[in-house]
Amino acid sequence: MIKLIKSTFYQEEKTKQKLVHFIKNARQLSFGKECENFEIKFARWQGRKHCVMVNSGSSANLALFQALLNIGYLKKNDLVGFSAVTWSTNAMPIVQLGLQPVPVDIELNTINVSSKQLLKVLKKYPLKMLFITNLLGFCDDLEEIVKICREKKIILTEDNCESLGSVYRGKKLGNFGLASTFSFYVGHHMSTIEGGAICTDDEDLAIMLRLVRAHGWDRNLNFTKQKELRKKFHINQSFYARYSFYDLGFNFRPTEIAGFLGNVGLNHLPEIIKKRERNFMKLAKVLYTKSDRYYPLKYQHLTVNSNFAFPLICTSEKLRNELVKKCANKVEIRPIVGGNIRLQPFFTKYLTGDRFPPTDNADLVHRQGLYFGNNPELTRQEIELIINLFNS
């Protein structure tokens, strides 16, 4: 059986040995130097000024929305567009924090939101923000989307939890908007077991994210910012200063174990991406050619397609159902991410009666899509087995 997730870490045995050694010798395992080093290195790797590490990609999304509200970039009831095909905890914070979610349909040939789909939605829905998901290493015409958002003063942020390392027109995905979120969950590109991060070039947002990440207090802010906050709120005794809570927050701090694993994982990241891209190309050349079985996906516009799971959209529901049976005990498959989020029970529970723009392509992906894992440690034989299985 070729599993969706082959191992917890790339080079699992060596990484586990390093981890054991680290834990034995570490004096502190709660948030500390390893996490802080990771933040510096990850920001550099991504090409962003700031990185705030958290304990999952879902926390990254929730923290980002809370920080945007705290800082006043967003206010309650603002309309927030999101990619109709994405993960649950991409859309959930919009509902949880009193904003209004608006699903934006995707394109069948990129499984991502395009400028065309965005413009269609904007005719009826004056979005204040677009939280776009760069799905499975792909994107559509992001540069056009950036232009539209700039012209219409829409805040653009990217959920890049599935596209760490993808490059479009010479720029890494995750660098097109105000901020971007990342996941380091086991099955994703780089594993800290659970983990996530938010990257941004906006200093005020980064400061607020650090506050939101840890209880709403100022302990992880620099001295100047602490002084400023304490002065503003007349907190002049150090006894209270450490226990003053300035705005709404959570506890999303990662542990030093995640920080350590992140630092180890970053060293392997270029190799992981290269291997996954090589697998992707082998599979795409066969499975994305014109056929009566699958909709061909477009990937040639990407300089690097950093893909961790290979999506297929069948031309009929019947074929998808046949493949589900055929793959049993051979290749583990699943729906494409969360399918069309609009059709998920949580969405229909909390958004009854609301009117939304049509999401025909996302509906089709929901009914006819599937994906299997693209692991850097897939063998040539395993790739051949996958190709034979899906191509016959």
Ligand X SMILES: Cc1ncc(COP(=O)(O)O)c(C=O)c1O
Active site residues: 188
Judged by CB under 6 A, the residue of 10, 38, 82, 87 near ligand X is 87
What is the bridge-based pairing of β-strands 179-183 and 155-159?
parallel
131 neighbors 81 (Cβ within 8 angstroms)? yes
What burial letters (b/e) apply to 263-299, b meaning 16+ CB within 10 Å?
Answer: bbbbebbeebbebbbebbebbbeebbeeeebbbebbb
Residue 133 sits in the site that holds ligand X (CB under 6 A): yes
User: How many chain residues bind ligand X (CB under 6 A)?
Assistant: 16
Which residue's CB atom is positioned nearest to ligand X?
57
307 binds ligand X (CB under 6 A): no
Residues 342-371 within binding reach of ligand X (CB under 6 A):
none
Contacts for 355 with CB less than 8 Å, ≥ 6 apart: none
Element of type H or E holding 13: helix 12-25
Residue 111: what are its φ and ψ, rounded to 5°?
50, 20
d(CA 273, CA 171): 15
Amino acid 319 reads L
Residue 100: CB minimum distance to ligand X, A: 20
337 binds ligand X (CB under 6 A): yes
Nearer to ligand X, 249 or 339 (CB): 339
Is residue 255 part of the contact set for ligand X (CB under 6 A)?
no
Binds ligand X (CB under 6 A): choice among 93, 174, 177, 196: 196
With respect to ligand X, which residue has the nearer C-beta, 163 or 226? 163
CA nearest neighbour of 364 among 107, 137, 90: 107
Question: Binding of ligand X at residue 375 (CB under 6 A)?
Answer: no
Q: Between residue 143 and residue 162, which ones bind ligand X under the rule CB under 6 A?
A: 159, 161-162
If we measure between CA atoms, which residue out of 200, 144, 192, 155 comes closest to residue 175?
200
Minimum distance of ligand X from residue 19's CB (angstroms)? 19
- Give the residue, chosen from 183, 226, 263, 340, that forms a contact with ligand X under the rule CB under 6 A: 183
- Could you tell me the smallest distance in angstroms from the CB atom of residue 326 to ligand X? 25
Kindly list the residues in this chain that would bind ligand X in the complex (CB under 6 A). 56-58, 61, 86-87, 89-90, 133, 159, 161-162, 183, 185, 196, 337
